[in-house]
Structure 1
Amino acid sequence: MKTRDIDIRAQLHLNLKHEHAGEHDTLIIDELGLCQGDARIDVAVVNGSIHGFEIKSESDTLERLPGQIDIYNKVLDSITIITGKCHNEGILKLIPEWWGIVIAEKINDDEVSFLVSRQSNPNPQIDPYSVVQLLWRDEALELLRRFELEKGYISKPRNKIWEKLVESFSLEELKYHVREQLKLRKNWRVD
């Protein structure tokens, strides 16, 4: 039986909910847009870091993966790719060695098993500007206000506000503030 995105995603959600049960500061997000929508990570876990999970089932191709890798590497603290056996060799040729790999195998109609092939490690190449792009304009401006840095930026476009944040905070501080804002956000989709 071929693995499908929907089956892998359902099993991943079950595993993540079990793994993070009782943690009130953990947020699990489907289809988190990165770099102003240039790509979406299938599932993101936001707590003391942002761990992205990319699903490449046996029904998928690896055609878009090189472009996704470039974007994911700019933003996510760690990344795990979950794939069917048929993609394992192709994925190994494409992804950085710090990405984790999980092999998904369909056991029956209702169950998918996961086998960890490689644990993920911290991302060594995060881009601060790409991280702050996770903030909506009003959220970014509020962060400037909180630290009394908003003077001259209240009517500026979001890219200027993001630039001011990158100038004003270290990467670790930016990552912290962005994670905290994502966990507070109520309305995730804007039409």
Structure 2
Amino acid sequence: MKQVLDTAQLAAISKLFSSSVLQEMTIKGRYDGFSSLVQETSFLDSVDSDFLVADFYEYMFRMLIRTENRQEYVYKSAVVQKVLLGKHSLNTASMLSEFRVEKSKADIAVLNGTSTVYEIKSERDKLSRLKVQIDSYRKFFANVNVIVGENHIDAVKEIVPVDVGIMTLTNNYTISVDREAVNIPSRTCPSTIFDSIRREESIKILQEIDVSVPELPNSRIYAELKKIFSIQDPEVIHHYMVKVLRETRSLNSLKSTIKKIPNSLRAAVLGMSLKKEDVSNLELVVNTPLVEALKWN
């Protein structure tokens, strides 16, 4: 049975999963606007009186994953649950969220033995920027995928190159592969990789391939590093980029936390930079009885 959320409900539930709300929860151990958001969802009377905050989030997520209500976060969560945590682990793989490549932001990417990006186009999204986005991602990632609502699949096939994978999020909340991505690290561009990562990461990559890093003032080092990067072999740079970023962007420290928070929040938490004290606050928040959380102010 369909249950289409109205605009106000969808906005309130989406905000509950937003980084701004969750960041405040992790920093303060509560969110002062929580009660108002819960009221705006119009589901307070539908939940059990003994619900924890974690239970309420799971209940809200079950509303969001319905095809008629899906937004970007639902797709991100599917990739985290079914790919990052389902096929890999935080021991061996890392994740990039909202990762800038040229003028585009990659929705979510997984780094394990190679690099794989997932550009999300939900049922509600337009495809006007897809070609530009994919052109950029093919310069950084060896595997490029578009994960779409079923309403977009025919149009996406007309837009993206044949080496780009196409996936759909089914009505049963599973990821269905329509076309496999082709792993092509040789297609990547060292200059684009350089522009997308941190300076210390680029230096570490050069050190890994035994290329000397010049000692120059800050005003000159960027241009010189980029010049050095631009003449390197794309496959070599890509290989060590994956190796270095798996270390510098490791999520291994969150392994125990991820097991203690609801599935619905895992994608959001892995996309945030959390300190040790933030982790403790978050665990307390999700285990707070809902009736107590409604008193936050």
2:227 maps to 163
Structure 1 residue runs without a partner (length 5+):
none
2:87 maps to 19
Give, as a single letter, the amino acid of the residue that structure 1 aligns with 2:180. Answer: Q
Structure with greater strand percent: 1
Conservation of the 8 A alpha-carbon contact between 2:205 and 2:241:
no
1:7 maps to 74
Give, as a single letter, the amino acid of the residue that structure 1 aligns with 2:195. Answer: Q
Deviation at 1:58, TM superposition (A): 0.2
Q: Mark the CA change 1:177 to 1:134 in structure 2 (over 3 Å): closer, same or farther.
A: farther
Give, as a single letter, the amino acid of the residue that structure 2 aligns with 1:165. Answer: F
Conservation of the 8 A alpha-carbon contact between 1:132 and 1:162:
yes
1:102 maps to 167
How many Å separate the matches in 1 of 2:149 and 2:202? 39
Identity between Structure 1 and Structure 2 (%): 19
2:36 maps to none
Once the two structures are superposed, residues 73-102 of structure 1 have per-residue CA deviations (whole angstroms, 9 ceiling, x without a partner) of 111101111111111111011001011111
TM-score by length of 2: 0.55
Report how many aligned residue pairs link the two structures: 181
Once the two structures are superposed, residues 49-74 of structure 1 have per-residue CA deviations (whole angstroms, 9 ceiling, x without a partner) of 11001110101110111210211111
2:189 maps to 127
Q: Mark the CA change 1:125 to 1:60 in structure 2 (over 3 Å): closer, same or farther.
A: same
Pick from 99, 122, 139 the counterpart of residue 74 of structure 1: 139
Deviation at 1:144, TM superposition (A): 4.3
Conservation of the 8 A alpha-carbon contact between 2:190 and 2:234:
yes
Pick from 223, 231, 235 the counterpart of residue 172 of structure 1: 235
2:247 maps to 184
Pick from 125, 128, 136 the counterpart of residue 198 of structure 2: 136
Matched, 1:50 2:121: no
Structure with greater helix percent: 2
Once the two structures are superposed, residues 112-133 of structure 1 have per-residue CA deviations (whole angstroms, 9 ceiling, x without a partner) of 2222111111236322211222
How many Å separate the matches in 1 of 2:206 and 2:149? 44
Structure 2 residue runs without a partner (length 5+):
1-66, 251-271, 274-297
Could you say which structure has the greater relative contact order, defined with CA pairs below 8 angstroms and 6 or more residues apart? Answer: 2
Deviation at 1:142, TM superposition (A): 4.3
When Rg is computed on C-alpha atoms for both structures, the one with the higher figure is 2
Pick from 157, 163, 182 the counterpart of residue 92 of structure 1: 157
1:113 maps to 174
Deviation at 1:170, TM superposition (A): 1.9
Conservation of the 8 A alpha-carbon contact between 2:201 and 2:248:
no
Q: Mark the CA change 1:148 to 1:94 in structure 2 (over 3 Å): closer, same or farther.
A: closer
How many Å separate the matches in 2 of 1:40 and 1:186? 17
Deviation at 1:106, TM superposition (A): 3.2
Conservation of the 8 A alpha-carbon contact between 2:107 and 2:120:
yes
Conservation of the 8 A alpha-carbon contact between 1:132 and 1:174:
no
The residue matched to 1:115 in structure 2 has which SS? strand
Deviation at 1:145, TM superposition (A): 5.4
